[in-house]
Chain A
């Protein structure tokens, strides 16, 4: 942990209309770390994630990405987003493109790669998520789990330095979450820096370096999975984690 943080968030606030969603969030993520954000819905976890790649802009506070303050004026947000991969709950695959084209369009149109190079690279990314044999399938022809794996490959194709996952398994049937979590676990093993909003507690327990519990627009507590699950400081953390863990574990058996 001697490194500089790859993402540093300082006192970020954001409101939608009269509703204050983020009430001064500070958080640092170091290279190769996997941080899982947990907390009740409506707590601002997704909003925070969207601030990190500037899909949403904080009202105040600062965010640094690899030492550059991305919330400063005149920062090229397209360049920032190229370094931050994002995976959405609803997949958001490009509906008119097949799996391979979904992965390569950013390479050719954003990074300026040649078609052939992008094709080869795109196939490698699809292989990485185990879907090379689905390259010519359109999103509508893929299962939810496959769609999400293509979406991961699409993000990886841009060679991001950080990956953001916004409830990547919440829209999936329970029997399809495993294949997506496996890919994410593999990514973590390869040393990808990941910030994950998820209710998958077994994933958090196994893969996370750090769990951050958010509630009501604040970070209530953060710590290692072991500490958070066995000996949290805050009663709220204990209550939330035990409530979400017990039924969750039953489901996974």
Chain B
């Protein structure tokens, strides 16, 4: 009984970091989404230098460990401009996720039938309008399964901002562990919370997928 009670107490303590974990994840996903879509468009429709730029971003960022990106942003950039650990960590995660998301969206854009662009141009749409109203709405729907996976990865990667001292759930778990010397309890509770969050995210995005799936 005592064990269960300790477990619940630990959970309650960790849950106070839930808001931070969710905020970091949502910011990172949003930043990554904007960057990812933009880079994917450049990869597919850009001229040569822009294509190369977008490709370089994707290759380089995906080759660097996310923690390194976080450290770079926090210790280098944040020493120049005023950036809290929270924002440095979230933006770095978003910057990294943008590279992965650009690959997801690039594939999706390329799998939209070429006739869609032709038909859009034929009714007088500019290239940009055609991308905005015809290509992207389809590409984003096609990208949803891959994006759902990326969302859960970013959720779990949000633990990495703990390296720069952001008080998210894992950081709190470590605190509990060092205070109580009960690592199993502390990290077990963290695992349970992450599992629940991941399942929930998967469920919600799965519903969105069903709802917005194109009729085929």
Residues of A contacting B20 in the complex (Cβ-Cβ under 8 angstroms):
none
Task: Give the residues from 80 to 126 in chain A that come closer than 8 angstroms, CB to CB, to chain B.
Answer: 81-82, 84-86, 88, 90, 92-96, 105-106, 109-110
Q: A94–B215 Cα gap in the complex (Å)?
A: 11
Q: A93–B121 Cα gap in the complex (Å)?
A: 13
Write 17 A-B pairs (CB below 8 A) sorted by A numbering. A53-B122, A55-B121, A81-B121, A81-B124, A82-B123, A90-B115, A92-B119, A94-B138, A95-B138, A96-B134, A105-B134, A106-B124, A109-B125, A110-B125, A139-B215, A140-B216, A154-B123
Q: Give the residue of A85, A94, A151, A155 whose beta carbon is less than 8 angstroms from that of B134.
A: A94
- Chain A interface size, as a band, is 20 to 34
Most buried by A among B124, B126, B133: B124
A48 close to chain B: CB less than 8 A: no
Q: Give the residue of B121, B123, B124, B214 whose beta carbon is less than 8 angstroms from that of A95.
A: B214
Nearest chain B CB to A107 CB, angstrom units = 9
Q: Which residues of B contact A (CB under 8 A)?
A: 113, 115-116, 118-126, 129, 133-134, 137-138, 141, 214-216
Q: Is the CB of A55 within 8 A of B215?
A: no
Q: Give the residue of A79, A96, A158 whose beta carbon is less than 8 angstroms from that of B214.
A: A96
Task: Give the residues from 205 to 219 in chain A that come closer than 8 angstroms, CB to CB, to chain B.
Answer: none
Q: A42–B137 Cα gap in the complex (Å)?
A: 34
Q: Is the CB of B124 within 8 A of A96?
A: no
Q: Looking across the interface, which residue of chain B has its beta carbon closest to that of A151?
A: B119
Q: Is the CB of A95 within 8 A of B116?
A: yes
Q: A86–B118 Cα gap in the complex (Å)?
A: 10
Q: Is the CB of A109 within 8 A of B129?
A: yes
Q: A94–B214 Cα gap in the complex (Å)?
A: 11
Q: Give the residue of A55, A78, A157 whose beta carbon is less than 8 angstroms from that of B118.
A: A55
A203 close to chain B: CB less than 8 A: no
Tell me whether A81 and B122 are in contact in the complex, defined as CB-CB below 8 angstroms, given that A94-B134, A109-B129 are known contacts: yes
